């Protein structure tokens, strides 16, 4: 296997480990709260 493929695989494993470290990465309450605050916050545009 080429070295660049091994490096890419290693980087992906590290990223996925970060997301799945505590929960499944998608239902983590911290991420849900951030997503809801982004959706619910009013966007203020300056004139």
**Quick one: pLDDT at residue 36?**
74
- Tens of pLDDT along 1-46? 788 888 999 888 888 777 777 766 566 666 667 777 777 776 666 7
Could you tell me if residue 18 is inside a domain?
yes
User: What does each C-alpha distance from 5 to 9, 18, 40, 44 come to in angstroms?
Assistant: 6, 20, 40, 44
Q: How many domains does the chain have?
A: 1
Q: How many Cβ atoms sit within 10 Å of the Cβ of residue 23?
A: 12
Cα 44 to Cα 33: distance, rounded to the nearest angstrom: 20
25 or 47, greater pLDDT: 47
Domain span including residue 15: 3-40
Contacts of 16 (CB under 8 A, 6+ apart): 25
Question: Which two three-digit tokens encode residue 6?
Answer: 């091994």
Look at residue 30 and tell me if it is in a domain: yes
Q: Say what the pLDDT of residue 13 is.
A: 86
In-domain check, residue 47: no
Residue 15 lies in a domain: yes
pLDDT of residue 39: 75
């Amino acid at each position: 296997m080429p070295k660049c493929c091994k490096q890419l695989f290693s980087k992906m494993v590290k990223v996925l480990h970060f997301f799945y470290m505590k929960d499944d990465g998608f239902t983590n309450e911290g991420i849900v709260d951030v997503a809801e605050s982004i959706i619910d916050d009013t966007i203020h545009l300056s004139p």
